[in-house]
Structure 1
Amino acid sequence: MDVSSIARPVTGSLGRFLSGAGLLLRGLGLYVRSPGLMLLGVIPALISGVLFLGAFATLVWFVDDLAALVTPFADDWSGTVRSLARVIAGVAILGIGGLVGVLTFTAVTLVIGDPFYEKISERVEERYGGTPNAVEVPFWPSLRRSLADSARLVALSLLVGIPLFVAGFIPVVGQTVVPVIGAAVGGWFLAVELVGAPFYRRGMRLPQRRAILKADRPTALGFGVAVFLCFLIPLGAVLIMPAAVAGAALLARRSLGQSIDGPLSAPPSGTPAVEG
């Protein structure tokens, strides 16, 4: 299967959305051809995965108590109606917990694995001609900027999560429309978070990369939602994270009008192979 054809430029919002999702497949194709990078890329995601799996398991364990805590108004209701209200509250809590957890997992994993993911991102770009006008990115200043930007994105996701949590109480809508909106919101934040490294190499900060991704929002959403859904699969975040970093390098290049076309088997002349 020629995965490069999936990510070629197309027109129409739906087509661009699917093309963005195809960038994750293409990133996966690049990543699995790099055995050395595969191991390095999984280690930080595995560390974060253990931490966040434990945190989410704790949330599941206490979800009944939390549901009762946020629905004191239901204490005097009949048993069936009270139970239904608290089941809906529990689902809403787990949904928002999953949304925030995925975004926080990504931020923490990118910090833990910064040297590894930076190398993956750089090698993907080298394959397609390198980073035009690259700037020097010292480790500690880069880490501080990454922490600050990640904190801003997580805080914003919490602000968005509150109205989604409230909307989760609406019968039917809260269990159908709200999860779709949550995936779209989570996907957008993931796309903005994951393209951080290639934009930093070009001297661009969070406001710039957000503005550039907005110029082709369907493509960014397609990529981000695909990553978000993969992260919801057990162990999906651990296994997909490095491929998401590779796909994000392709998304950054496309958003900036730079080439991502070329053979998967060999890099351009004069650049090192993506073989770890």
Structure 2
Amino acid sequence: MRSVRDFFAGVGFFFQGLGWVARNGRWWLFGLIPALIAFAIYVAALVYLGNNAIELANWMTPFADTWGWRDAFRVMIAIVVFVGGLALAVVTFTAITLVIGEPFYEKLSATVDVVPGYEELPWWRTLPRSIRDSLVTLGWVLLITIPLFFLGFIPVVGQTVIPVIGAAVSGFFLTVELTTLSMERRGLARKQRFALLRGNKPAALGFGVVVFLLFLLPFVAVIAMPAAVAGAALLVRERLSPA
């Protein structure tokens, strides 16, 4: 019962973040800039993938050249390739946007969550760390979500259980990404951050799953990104702060 309450408390932090940016419209517009840049990059990449999916499927399946149903098979492979690219875009959007918008989101997060005694470092000093941590998190995401993607083709289970597991996994790692800024201001290293989130898994899942579901909607991901950063800062300050 407590886990359910904690899960919905986590959901509530996203809406608290939404309320914060709604009351501070200047920061919402400020946070849109890197999200729009990342969105434009992803749209261009997905359009390119869509236009070349058949050619990529042909290249991947030379063994099917003599099959009578090769065209239908390759169309199916092309669809799988595009859907896989779309899924990858969803799970990496936050990491890429945070890397692009490091100075933007650091300021936004620090405004929401003021940590006494913290001295902000220049963005060029924190950028390498941000890229390194994002790559580590992305590695864990791919390690788990790629098998889940293929398990999704199993009848019944793939259309019911697997999407739920996938949303939970993706949601947890979105919370990992979004809470990094606030946790680092408290001097927490990557292993400490993971341990803290695992110890508060229901709240971490509640926050991350609602963000993940919203990020499935293309332009909503752009609009919601500043709210997600603000909500993560509130989550850390009120729920996850070790001090």
TM-score using structure 2 length:
0.86
Corresponding residue for residue 17 of structure 1:
7
CA separation of 1:68 and 1:219: change in aligned 2, threshold 3 A = farther
Choose 52-61 or 190-199, whichever is displaced more: 52-61
Which structure 1 segments of 5+ residues have no match? 1-10, 259-276
In structure 1, the partner of 2:206 is 222
- Following the alignment from structure 2 to structure 1, what is the Cα–Cα distance between the partners of residues 67 and 11? 45
* Mapping of residues 104-183 of structure 1, within 5 Å: 104-125=92-113, 130-132=114-116, 134=118, 136-183=120-167
Superposed CA deviations along residues 111-143 of structure 1, whole A, max 9, x for unmatched, are: 221222112111111xxxx32563553433311
Amino acid at match of 2:37: I
**C-alpha displacement at 1:156, in angstroms?**
1.9
Match of 1:263 in 2: none
The answer (yes or no) to whether the contact 2:58–2:74 under 8 Å persists in 1 is no
Measure, in 2, the Cα distance between the counterparts of 1:22 and 1:95: 30
Say whether residues 1:194 and 2:178 are aligned partners. Answer: yes
Q: Which among 28, 39, 43 is matched to residue 18 of structure 2?
A: 28
Change (3 A) 1:245 1:77: same
SS in 1 for 2:215: helix
Match of 1:39 in 2: 29
**Range with greater deviation from structure 2 (161-170 or 216-225):** 161-170
* SS class of match (1:195): helix
Contact 1:92/1:169 (8 A) holds in 2: no
Report the secondary structure of 2:218's partner residue: coil
Q: For each residue in 1:187-232, what CA deviation from the matched residue of structure 2 results, as whole angstroms up to 9, or x when unmatched?
A: 1111000111101111112211111011110110111111111111
CA offsets 1:34-56 (integer angstroms, 9 cap, x no match): 12112211111001101011212
Distance 1:78 1:179 in 2: 33
- Indicate the residue corresponding to 1:256 in structure 2: 241
Match for 2:139: what amino acid? A
| Aligned pairs for 1:17-96 within 5 A | 17-66=7-56, 79=69, 83=72, 87=76, 89=77, 92-96=80-84
Distance 2:165 2:65 in 1: 30
Displacement of 1:240 in angstroms is: 0.5
Structure 1 match to 2:220: 236
Is the alpha carbon distance of 1:72 and 1:147 closer, same or farther for their aligned partners in structure 2, counting shifts above 3 Å? same
Distance 1:239 1:57, change over 3 A: same
Q: Report the identity percentage.
A: 48
Answer yes or no: is 1:101 the counterpart of 2:86.
no
The residue type paired with residue 240 of structure 2 is S
C-alpha contact (below 8 Å) 2:148/2:166 kept by paired residues: yes
